[in-house]
């Protein structure tokens, strides 16, 4: 085991969190760009709604973007996701996570996943439905090793996942 000490840094210092757009059911269409909702992240085969109007660029997501679902049922709805679909529009209750140069996107996802229980303990709400505020999520501390070590940890986790270690 290494005795290396790494910085602890707030999530808000390593990324920007952009909340999705709030759509009204009356805006849903059968054509246009898909609206990505929490259920689409949890189940890629879930039905999509579409929007054919103009939308601010900050709500647009593309393949490979890191997303964080911050509302819903703890244990099922909360979590980080890499968007694997085509260009789409992000719905409310999901942050588009824009990482800063000091952290790798995949390492940030691993950090979210490793801290999901801590994130959920900060969530507020009633019976079964909870949410975490942007400022609460930004204030959670994660460990930040140098980029070279981040690359090592990401490669290790990807290898372990492919080998079935986590299944």
Q: What would the mean pLDDT of 110-115 be, rounded to a whole number?
A: 94
Better pLDDT: 56 or 125: 56
Strand pairing category for 33-36 and 88-90:
parallel
In the chain, the domains with their CATH numbers are 7-162 (3.90.220.20)
Q: Residue 148 CB: number of other CB atoms within 10 A?
A: 7
pLDDT of 1 reads 44
pLDDT tens, residue by residue, 59-83: 999 999 999 999 988 778 889 999 9
pLDDT of 129 reads 82
What secondary structure, in 3-state letters, does 28-43 show?
CECCCEEEECHHHHHC
Most distant CA pair in the chain, distance = 57
Instruction: Kindly indicate the confidence band of residue 50, based on its pLDDT and cuts at 50, 70 and 90.
Output: very high
pLDDT tens, residue by residue, 19-48: 999 999 999 999 999 999 999 998 989 999
The two three-digit tokens of residue 74, written as one number: 């703890």
Q: Examine the pLDDT at 3 and tell me if it is beyond 70.
A: no
Q: What would the mean pLDDT of 123-130 be, rounded to a whole number?
A: 80
pLDDT of 164 reads 60
pTM score of the predicted model: 0.91
């Amino acid at each position: 085991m290494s005795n290396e000490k790494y910085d602890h840094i707030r999530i808000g210092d390593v990324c920007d969190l952009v909340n999705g757009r709030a759509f009204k059911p009356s805006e849903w269409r059968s054509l246009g760009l898909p609206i990505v909702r929490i259920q689409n992240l949890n189940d890629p085969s879930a039905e999509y709604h579409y929007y054919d109007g103009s939308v601010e660029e900050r709500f647009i997501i593309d393949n490979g973007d890191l997303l964080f679902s911050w509302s819903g049922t703890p244990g099922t709805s909360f979590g980080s996701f890499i968007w694997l679909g085509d260009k789409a529009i992000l719905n409310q209750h999901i942050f588009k996570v824009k990482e800063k140069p000091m952290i790798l996107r995949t390492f940030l996802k691993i950090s979210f996943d490793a801290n999901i229980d801590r994130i959920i303990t900060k969530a507020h709400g009633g019976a079964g439905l909870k949410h975490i505020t942007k400022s609460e999520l930004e204030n959670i501390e994660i460990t930040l090793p140098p980029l070279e070590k981040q690359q090592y940890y990401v490669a290790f986790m990807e290898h372990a996942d492919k080998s079935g270690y986590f299944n």
